[in-house]
Chain A
Amino acid sequence: MNRIGSWFLLSFRLHRWEVLASAAGVALLAIAMLWFSSQLRALAASEPGCSDPAAYVAGCEQFAQRFSELADWGRQLLLVSWGAPFGMGLVLGVPLVAREVEHRTAGMAWTLSRSRAVWLAQRVAFLALVLIAVLAVVAVVSEILASALMPNLTLDSDFTWYGRRGGLIVLRGVLSLGIGVLAGAVVGRLLPGILVAAFASVLVFSALSLGMDRWLETDAVLSPAMNGGPFDQSGGRSLGIRIELAGGEVVTWEDLLARGYTDWQEDMEGRLYTSVDDVGQLDRAIGWERQLLVPGRLYPQIVLRESAVAGAAGLVLLLAAVGVVGRRRPG
């Protein structure tokens, strides 16, 4: 057997349980998603007169009801696809170093290898391949299900179910793997490592989400708020409500309160007034209620950006794990 074959076989034997559990979980998820997709498509094809299941069309009530019942299950599956990278990254990543240290086999493995960094790179490479392969299946199948759930949307330019479909799932998995490997290397015990990694994941992904939202604000545009005009239907992503003051300045509700505007009135078009008597006098309006919206056409760019950040952060954590493994005691 050549070197790659023996590396593959050894890696598989070391992580058989985790790899098989991940593959089995993804296989079940993919089968369920494809089944629901086919059912939804068949249902939509059986009623060609009812083109949009989300819209009210006279005579299509029964179809919409049946579609909605099936779609509820589909949406639950998309939630699973959102959670898959976090769970799989930890299940595959934490045992990599932690189990060797806990079983006191790390000393022998590290001595036999050319260097600890090479040993870790060989192990991580196999798990990263497995992770990317299984999550790629989730990414593709979740897109298929999403398009069956929303046949009238152009999902390539729509933020609906952001992070529950598409390639972002794979890169989030890489980041989660990095967290798992690093936590396992630091703690050196399996179950405590999983606890620490789960807690760290919550912190890291919350920070990533907040940071990406701040970055997104640079791409966002002001659009009419819910009661100021037609609510956005173009697949954009809302970052919250802002107030556009008459002078052009954009502030939050908190800023407005801090400036002493504790009492205001709003008309049907979203204009804000400081007194109920001013309502309707356009020159007395202090500003407009707006929605900060990232246009749907930016969806591929934003996904690519977050994927790059998650992937880079994952690599940084894996490098940190190399540092930890290089210095720590093997047992």
Chain B
Amino acid sequence: MLRAFRLAYRMQRFELRLLIGAALLVAVAALAIAWQTRVVRDEQLACYRDAPTTVEGSLDSPCSAQDSSLVVLEQAAAFVKAGVVATPILLGLFLGIPLVAREVESRTAQLAWTISRSRRRWLLQRATPVLGTLVVACLAGGIAGDVLVHAAPWVEGSDPGFSDWWARGPQVAVRGIAVGAIGLVVGAFMGRQLPALLLAGLCTFALFVSASLILDGWMEAAAEPVVVGPDQIVSGKIYGSAVRGDATGEVISYERAYESFGESFGEEIDEFGNPVGYSQVYFMVPSRRYGEFVLYEAAIFGLVALAGIGAATQIVANRRP
């Protein structure tokens, strides 16, 4: 196995150094920004605690140094999150495509396949170290992204819910292996790197759009009515709102409420802004179901990865070198 790793490293030295280095840089930057955000946030809270009462009408903040530092850190975090989103795509495409396509394009595939015991074995030995490294790099990015999202001042130890879905979590690694498998199969099929990069890029775009639409559809179908109390903080993905009659417990949409009760509905509102006798209800997927949908997404991308690797094996076994 060590030999396979050494060979893979020699064959893709430049891409591995550049891409894995960039991915680790993103992960380290995410952890550094998360740590710094927590430090500055603590300083900001301490500053506001000790600050004198502000003059009425003044818009000045007594802790402007910390406020502006947090704004800068938030902007930096947005860049790093974009880096985490891009990590599986770039690593998957640029490490997956050349595995077979470069050998075919350089006409070295015939020699490599002849001296190997079987083509499938050759592919296994070439792909395993590269895809393994890709998974580790993406996992590092996903975990660091998770730490970064949890460090945001607005989270403050609570549940961030479904926010920054694409920029965090172990599912980043599953996405990486799926894109890598797409690169592998397209590269094996086309046998030329640049056309494969264009086609695999399009396939990856289609996969991400489809997965996003499918997941959104599942989440909307799973949305449940949650009554929101006046001083209650809700966390989750919200798809709509309605009202619930306090006496009857019936949940009705605002449109139906206006149709049924006419313009008089909502004329009288309670101290929390709700129509008297009604409570506001959100149709939402609560944050506690985040893990469940992570698994659904991992299943989609995992299936694509398995199908891609299987198809690439078949293509390599049957194609002309």
Contact = CB atoms under 8 A, between A and B. Distances in A.
Interface string A188-215: 0111101110000000000000000000
B75 to A, nearest CB: 16
B70 to A, nearest CB: 18
A102 B11 CA distance: 13
B197 interface: yes
Interface string B85-123: 000000000100110001001100000000000000000
A102 B14 CA distance: 13
B194 A103 contact: no
Interface in A169-203: 187, 189-192, 194-196
A199 to B, nearest CB: 9
A192 B102 CA distance: 12
A276 interface: yes
A210 to B, nearest CB: 17
Interface in A259-307: 263, 276
8 closest cross-chain pairs (CB), A and B: A192-B14, A17-B195, A190-B193, A21-B198, A191-B94, A191-B98, A95-B194, A191-B193
Q: For chain B, which range describes its interface: under 10, 10 to 19, 20 to 34, or 35 or more residues?
A: 20 to 34
A272 to B, nearest CB: 13
B19 interface: yes
A182 to B, nearest CB: 17
B201 to A, nearest CB: 10
A232 interface: no
A18 B106 CA distance: 18
A190 B194 contact: yes
A21 B14 contact: no
A17 B19 contact: no
B58 interface: yes
Given A195-B19, A195-B94, A21 B195 contact: yes
Nearest to A187: B14
A191 B96 CA distance: 11
A18 B15 CA distance: 22
A91 interface: yes
Contacts of B55: 276
A191 B192 contact: no
Q: Which of A21, A187, A191 has the most CB of B within 10 A?
A: A191
Given A192-B14, A194-B194, A195-B94, 18 more contacts: A17-B195, A18-B194, A21-B198, A91-B194, A91-B198, A99-B194, A103-B105, A191-B15, A191-B94, A191-B97, A191-B98, A191-B193, A192-B15, A192-B18, A196-B18, A276-B55, A276-B57, A276-B58
A194 B197 contact: yes
21 contacts: A17-B192, A17-B194, A17-B195, A21-B195, A21-B198, A91-B194, A91-B198, A103-B105, A103-B106, A104-B106, A187-B14, A190-B194, A191-B15, A191-B98, A191-B193, A192-B15, A195-B15, A195-B94, A263-B60, A276-B55, A276-B58
B316 to A, nearest CB: 19
A286 to B, nearest CB: 16
A191 B195 contact: no
A291 to B, nearest CB: 21
Interface string B67-97: 0000000000000000000000000001001
A195 B86 CA distance: 13
Contacts of A196: 18
Nearest to B19: A195
A193 to B, nearest CB: 9
Interface string A229-246: 000000000000000000
Interface string A20-63: 01000000000000000000000000000000000000000000
Nearest to B198: A21
B18 A195 contact: yes
A190 B198 CA distance: 13
Nearest to A94: B194
B114 to A, nearest CB: 20
B194 A102 contact: no
A206 B144 CA distance: 28
Contacts of A104: 106
A90 to B, nearest CB: 10
Contact of A191 (B57, B58, B197, B198): B197
B121 to A, nearest CB: 25
Nearest to A190: B193
A91 B201 CA distance: 13
Contacts of A276: 55, 57-58
Contacts of A102: 102, 105-106
A196 B22 CA distance: 12
A99 B198 CA distance: 16
A99 B60 CA distance: 60
Interface string B47-58: 000000001011
B14 A189 contact: yes
Contacts of A99: 194
A102 B105 CA distance: 9
A89 to B, nearest CB: 14
Interface string A98-114: 01001110000000000
Nearest to B56: A276
A194 B15 CA distance: 11
A263 B60 CA distance: 7
Contacts of B98: 191
A134 to B, nearest CB: 15
A192 B193 CA distance: 11
A265 to B, nearest CB: 8
Nearest to A263: B60
Contacts of B57: 276
B150 to A, nearest CB: 29
A238 B285 CA distance: 42
A100 to B, nearest CB: 12
Nearest to A189: B14
Contacts of A187: 14
B154 to A, nearest CB: 26
A9 B214 CA distance: 46
